Each structure stands twice: as C-alpha cells, then as structure tokens.
C-alpha cells in the first residue's frame, strides 16, 4: 500500500504497524487455505508447532467463508486478487459463489453471497437475490447473525435492485429481536432454535454483525432508529471490554452483562470488533478509536499467557492462533455460568473461573478471519469495492 487506508486515522503508530503486519500475514496465509484439487476454500487450517517448524493441514470446505473472503479481497487492487482467490479474478470467483448458492440451504451462506454480488455490482446479483427471496422465511425465527447478514446484503443491494419490501421485513426482524430494555442482541430472533436453558445467552458475533448491519442500513437510507440501536450495543460491548482489550464472548441477552468472557478470539480483536465499530463510526454513530486500538494491542502478548507466552501471530506461514480458551472438560465453565445466570442474572461460580484458567491455545486459522481483516481496514461505506479497487490499481 502506497498510502495508509482512510480507516487508519483511528490508529496510532503502534496499532497501524500491527495492522499492516496483519494484512501482510493474511496475504501470505490465505493462498495456503485454498484447495487446488477441488477449487474451493477450506473450512480451516490446523497447525502444530514443533522443533523443526510446524505442520499444517486443511480441513473441510465452506461457502460462507469463501463469500467473506470475496467481501474482503474485493477491497484490494484487482491485480492482487487472483493470487488470493485460487487464481480466479473477483468477477469469476463471485460467479462461482452464486452458482453454489443456488443449492445452498443455509440462510447465512445465501445472504453473504448476495452481499458479495451486490458489493461488486455483479451481473448475477438478480439470481442471488432471487435465491435469497425464495429461501428467507422472513417472519420465522432465525439466528441473529444470519438475520443481520440479510440486512447487510439487502442494504448493499439498494440502488441496484428493488429490495425495499424484503429489507423492511429483515430490518423489523432484527430490531424486534432485542428484549425490551436490553442493550444487546440475543442469539436468535425468536423461540424454538435453542434449548430453553441457554435462550438468554448471546455471543460477540450476535453483537457485531447487527451493529454493522444497522450502521450500513442507516448509511444506505437515513434510518435513525437503526443507528441508535447499533450505537447502544456498541457502547455496551465497549463498556464491558476487558482490561487488556479483550472482546468477551458470551453476554446475557436480558441484561447485557457478560456471562462468560472466554474464549477470546483473535479474529474478534483484529477484524470483527474493528469492522463493526468502524462501519458505525463511518455511518455517524460515534468514535470508537480507543477500544479498537486496545483490542488490537491484546494480540501483541495476551496477559492470559504471561510474559514470554506463545505468539498469537505467525508471520512467515501466514497464520493466527484462533483463540485463547479455558482447558475445561466439556466446557464446564460456560455450562456453569449459563445455568446460574439463567436462574439469576449475574450469578456466577468464581471457583470454576479460578480452577480453569484461560491459558490454552486453539492452533487453527480460518479463511474468513482474513476476509474480515481486509474488509475492516480497507472497506468504505462511501465507495463500492469495484470502484475502490480500480482506484487502488491506478495509484
């Protein structure tokens, strides 16, 4: 990059250097996550450190992650894109996504493909929108993350297709999911999708994707209610941010309090948290520079691991350690806090926190982590990706 991206204005010298390092790391690592034999992105890259370096292998495949990669890579100069997309240019890569979307039965995957097609003004956007329109149940309960992606996709498609009726229904579903008086979003938009004992538990993803979707909705059509809802949730997660910049994982959808902080995910620190807050800031929803910088700094040496702990960033192979977590069998801490807070909000068992300390690492890295990283730091609400990449290529 010959000049700092516009969103770097929210960074200081240390965090700007770290973000550049992360983008370089992603550019080295993302090609290794592509399965040449099947011409698709893997679900994850699992790695094991050793005395002679490390070993790694790919596992699974994911249309969802491929769409997120397209959303992020779309903000890079067009000449750089094929190396990150298995040799495909962005247009042909998105066309492949739309083809796969036609047989998908997952609302989140379908919505993300629409979003990617809309962001690139793709010729197959009408086909992708038709699939979403036919598949989305609209008034039935859905997972909040996927409901938010529907809003982001349709808000991005505004001006390219008539999506207003569907968007109005998707907007209502997302906003109406919040329990009265709560500052955070739940895990689902209605009953029946999760077991009753954990209906009150929501996760960090349930917060950031609605923040982002509602910010983008407001930017696309002046929706103050949506902007206010996004700001309320953003202020809550920032208020609860850990002392070392941790973005906590589980929240009580009734009160907005933290149910259980761990795991802390690397992608939340460098991509998903900043992405939502930067979109909100760009939409006129406030200034979140300090929480963003604080979250990034956690990556330089998590307090949980102590001095000289294993690094979270592996520059040469292009990998990030996925998360820091408690090594508790059967996720006993999460289960305990879920059950106690169900009985009484805020009630926890401190003993299990002390017994199972967060000092374990999940050594895997997934393609979407780098897709959202590019998106967080290179995107703009004020310019479509196709225009942005053309301008970048001309620098």
Nearest 5°: CA angle at 16, between 14 and 22?
105
How does DSSP classify residue 188? B
Give the CATH number of the domain where residue 13 resides.
1.50.10.10
Residue 316, Cβ density class (10 Å: 0-12 exposed, 13-18 middle, ≥19 buried): exposed
3-state secondary structure (DSSP) of residue 137: coil
188: containing domain = 6-393
In a domain, 1, yes or no: no
How many domains, in total, are found in the chain?
1
Mean pLDDT score, 76-88: 97
Place of tokens 């696309």: 220
pLDDT tens sequence across 371-383: 999 999 999 998 7
- Indicate the pLDDT class of residue 394, thresholds 50, 70 and 90: very low
pLDDT attached to residue 52: 67
pLDDT attached to residue 3: 79
Bigger pLDDT: 143 vs 353:
143
pLDDT attached to residue 51: 67
pLDDT attached to residue 168: 97
Q: Is 307 a residue whose pLDDT tops 60?
A: yes
Which of 86-90, 360-364, 379-383 shows the lowest per-residue confidence on average (mean pLDDT)?
379-383
Write the CB contacts of 285 (distance below 8 Å, at least 6 apart in sequence): 215, 218, 227, 230, 231, 234
- Please report the DSSP string for 23-68 in residue order: HHHHHHHGGGGEETTTTEE-SEEEEEEETTEEEEEEE---HHHHHH
Cα 20 from Cα 23, distance rounded (Å):
5
Residue pair 259/251 in contact (Cβ under 8 Å)? The answer is yes
pLDDT attached to residue 123: 97
Q: Is 7 a residue whose pLDDT tops 60?
A: yes
Cα 91 from Cα 100, distance rounded (Å):
15
Cα 276 from Cα 268, distance rounded (Å):
10
Cα 134 from Cα 153, distance rounded (Å):
15
Residue pair 71/119 in contact (Cβ under 8 Å)? The answer is yes
pLDDT tens sequence across 119-130: 999 999 999 999
Q: Is 358 a residue whose pLDDT tops 60?
A: yes
**Four-residue CA torsion sign, 39, 41, 46, 50:** positive
pLDDT attached to residue 55: 87
Q: Is 31 a residue whose pLDDT tops 70?
A: yes
Its pTM stands at 0.95
- Alpha carbon of residue 385 to chain centroid: 18
Cα–Cα distance list, 274 to 1, 3, 156, 208, 304 (Å): 20, 20, 19, 9, 21
Give percent of the chain with pLDDT exceeding 90: 84
Q: Is 388 a residue whose pLDDT tops 60?
A: no
Question: Which residues on neighbouring strands pair with residue 320, listed in sequence order?
Answer: 313
In a domain, 20, yes or no: yes
pLDDT attached to residue 273: 98
User: Within 139-223, where are the H helices?
Assistant: 144-157, 164-176, 205-221
- Indicate the pLDDT class of residue 351, thresholds 50, 70 and 90: confident
pLDDT tens sequence across 94-105: 999 999 999 999
pLDDT tens sequence across 185-229: 999 999 999 999 999 999 999 999 999 999 999 999 999 999 999
């Amino acid at each position: 990059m010959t000049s700092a991206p516009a969103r770097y204005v929210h960074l200081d010298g240390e965090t700007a250097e770290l973000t550049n390092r992360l983008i370089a790391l992603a550019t080295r690592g993302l090609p290794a996550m592509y399965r040449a034999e099947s011409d698709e992105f893997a679900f994850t890259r699992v790695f094991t450190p050793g005395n002679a370096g490390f070993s790694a292998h790919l596992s699974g495949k994911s249309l969802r992650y491929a769409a997120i990669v397209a959303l992020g890579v779309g903000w890079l100069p067009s000449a750089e894109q094929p190396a990150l997309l298995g040799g495909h240019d962005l247009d042909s890569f998105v066309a492949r996504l739309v083809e796969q979307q036609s047989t998908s039965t997952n609302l989140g995957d379908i919505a993300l493909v629409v979003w990617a097609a809309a962001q690139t003004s793709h010729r197959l956007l009408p086909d992708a929108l038709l699939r979403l329109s036919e598949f989305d149940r609209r008034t039935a309960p859905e997972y909040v993350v996927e409901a938010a992606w529907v809003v982001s996709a349709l808000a991005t498609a505004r001006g390219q297709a008539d999506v207003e009726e569907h968007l109005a229904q998707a907007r209502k579903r997302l906003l109406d999911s919040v329990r009265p008086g709560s500052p955070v979003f739940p895990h689902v938009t209605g009953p029946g999708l999760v077991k009753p004992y954990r209906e009150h538990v929501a996760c960090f993803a349930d917060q950031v994707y609605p923040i982002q979707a509602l910010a983008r909705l407001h930017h696309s059509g002046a929706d103050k209610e949506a902007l206010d809802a996004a700001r309320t949730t953003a202020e809550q997660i920032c208020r609860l941010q850990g002392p070392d910049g941790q973005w906590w994982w589980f929240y009580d959808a009734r009160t907005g309090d933290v149910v259980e902080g761990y795991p802390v995910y690397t992608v939340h620190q460098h991509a998903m948290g900043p992405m939502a807050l930067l979109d909100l800031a760009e939409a006129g929803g406030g200034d979140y520079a300090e929480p963003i910088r604080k979250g990034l700094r956690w990556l330089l040496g998590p307090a949980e691991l102590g001095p000289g702990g294993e690094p979270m960033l592996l520059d040469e192979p292009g990998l990030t350690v996925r998360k820091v977590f408690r090594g508790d069998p059967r996720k006993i801490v999460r289960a305990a806090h879920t059950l106690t807070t169900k009985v009484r909000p805020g009630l926890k068992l401190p003993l299990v926190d002390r017994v199972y300390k967060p000092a374990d690492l999940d050594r895997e890295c997934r393609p979407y982590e780098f897709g959202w990283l590019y998106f967080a730091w290179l995107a703009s609400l004020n310019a479509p990706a196709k225009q942005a990449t053309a301008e970048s290529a001309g620098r």
